[in-house]
Structure formats: structure tokens, C-alpha cells
Amino acid sequence: MTNIFHTIQALWPEYTKTEKKVAQFILAEQQNATNMTMADIAEGAGVSEGSVVRFLNKLGVKKLIDLKLSIAKSAEEKRPQEGSLSVAVEQEFVDVVRNTASLADAGRLRQAVDLLEQSDQVYFFGVSVSGIAAVTGENSFIRMGKPVHAIQEGHMQMIAAAAMGSRDTVVVFSLTGNTRDTCEAAELAKQQGAKIIAVTSYVNSHLARISDIVLQTSAKEEIINGGRITGLISQIYVLDCLKREYTRRNAGRISRLKENIGEAILTKKF
């Protein structure tokens, strides 16, 4: 299979000035480009969408999705052979936590917890692996006495969104920030007056643009190798930051509640 990056470089003499801008942008972004729209690439390269289309034609690519798949396959080929599997996994986990921590904004985190405290109902939305983060959010906050609901299915997210109001908040997990079902549900919730907290790796994504607060993760969603646990780890890191700040503010009440929960759970053990 031809490496798309090699093809882009090989055709360099044939590009117009604007097409070279597109080529430079894609070569620089590579993995990030797989989650961009035509408009995103055009804006990033500083050209028109028509120039992006002409660039694709010169590459012999019919649709943007075909370019994204080619980029994903070529990026996968470039991965170095791993040595010790356990060491490689450990390093990936350490890197994603450190990188996500470096993106943390204490001010936005406090604002997000403000919304959670002020809300009558809190919803956690996410699909696929992000749905696991949503369920973890529900499990965490229900133990702190907060009315919470995790919803992983697109249609049910829309139904819940339609019934929301100004006293509700939705925490939306999406690495790309461009998952159609989740974004559509978040948009509807916002139209109903609910506040939106996005947990995403892309601050220029559709989800980020419609959200009231964006909490950034560092993990990138990959087309070919999607659903990686490292993506979930980055989301759980942000979720735990929310949980700890919420707990700090409500320490006395939550401590008493945890004792009650502990006693209740003990009755279920032999």
C-alpha cells in the first residue's frame, strides 16, 4: 500500500501555491487531520474549501473520508515495534495522564463544578468507550448524593435532552468532539436551556463550540485503532478532578453519606 505522506511529498512540484499550504498543513497535523472537516482543514491551511478539493483531486482522492483513512493507515505503519509490552502500556498510560494534566485549567474546572452544584439534574453523555466514562461519572456522583443519569444510546440522549431545562447540566464525553449522535443531543439540550460541559481532546470541535465549558483531554481518537483504553484514561482523569473538587466543597455532607452507603452495602455481603 502506498504511504499517503510519501505521495503528498512526491507530488510537491505539481502543487499550486494554495495546494502547498494544504499539503503542509496535513503533513504537520497528520493524526489530528483525521478528525477534521473540510472547513477545518481549509481554515487551518488558510485557504478556501475549493483549494482543499483541488488538492484531493491532485492526490487522486475522491472524498475527504478516503484521505482520512489513508492517513490513519499510513500513521499506523509508522509506529515503532514495541519492546516489552508491559513497559509500552505503562508508558502510554503515564504519558496520557501527564499530558492531560498539563492541559488542565483550574479556573474552568471550578466553573464546571459550580454548574454541577447549581444543577437539579446532571446527565453524563457518551457513546462507545466514552460511554464507559459516562457510566463511571454516574457511579461517582450518585455516591455523593447528586441526582445523576448516564446515557449511552443516541436516541435516549435525544429524549432526555428534549425534557431538560435551565437547571440541568450535561457532561459530554467525546474525544473527537464530533460524534454526531452526542453532538446533536448536546445541541438540543442547550436549546432547552441546559448547560453543557464538554470533555474532549479537540477545543475547535463541534462539541467544544456549542459548550459552555470545555475540559480538555490529551488522547486522540484514531480511525484505524479507535477505542483505545488510553482515551478512556484521559477522560477518567478529568472526571476524577471534577469529583475531588466537588467532594472538597461538600466534605461534611459527603462524609456522612459515605458512612450510610457503607453500612447499606455491608448488608449485602455474607
Q: What is the rounded average pLDDT for all residues in the chain? A: 88
- Contact residues for 175 (Cβ-Cβ < 8 A; gap 6+): 130, 200, 201, 202, 217, 219, 220, 221, 231, 234, 235
pTM: 0.75
What's the confidence (pLDDT) of residue 164?
Answer: 98
Mean pLDDT throughout 16-36? Answer: 85
Report pLDDT digits (tens) over 90-129. 888 998 899 999 999 999 999 999 999 999 999 999 999 9
What's the confidence (pLDDT) of residue 113?
Answer: 98
Instruction: Judge whether 173 and 134 are in contact, CB under 8 Å.
Output: yes
Mean pLDDT throughout 74-86? Answer: 63
Shortest CA distance to 70 belongs to which of 79, 60, 85? 60
Report pLDDT digits (tens) over 155-198. 999 999 999 999 999 999 999 898 999 999 999 999 999 999 99
pLDDT at 56 exceeding the cut of 60: yes
Give the HSE-up count for residue 80: Cα atoms under 13 Å, Cβ half-sphere. Answer: 5
Q: If 0-12 CB within 10 Å is exposed, 13-18 middle and 19+ buried, where does residue 111 land?
A: middle
Other Cβ atoms less than 10 A from the Cβ of 168: the count is 22
What's the confidence (pLDDT) of residue 46?
Answer: 92
What's the confidence (pLDDT) of residue 149?
Answer: 97
What's the confidence (pLDDT) of residue 227?
Answer: 57
Instruction: Judge whether 170 and 161 are in contact, CB under 8 Å.
Output: yes
What's the confidence (pLDDT) of residue 141?
Answer: 96
Q: If 0-12 CB within 10 Å is exposed, 13-18 middle and 19+ buried, where does residue 30 land?
A: middle
Q: What does 146-158 look like in DSSP terms, one character per residue?
A: --EEEE-SHHHHH
What's the confidence (pLDDT) of residue 139?
Answer: 95
Q: What is the DSSP letter of 80?
A: P
Q: What is the DSSP letter of 125?
A: E
Shortest CA distance to 232 belongs to which of 137, 103, 91? 137
> In 3-state terms, what secondary structure has residue 36?
coil
pLDDT at 80 exceeding the cut of 70: no
pLDDT grade, residue 37 (50/70/90)?
confident
Which CA distances in Å does 260 have to 64, 249, 253, 255, 267? 55, 19, 11, 9, 11
pLDDT > 70 fraction of the chain, expressed in percent and rounded: 92
pLDDT > 90 fraction of the chain, expressed in percent and rounded: 55
pLDDT grade, residue 14 (50/70/90)?
confident
Beta bridge partners of 196: 170
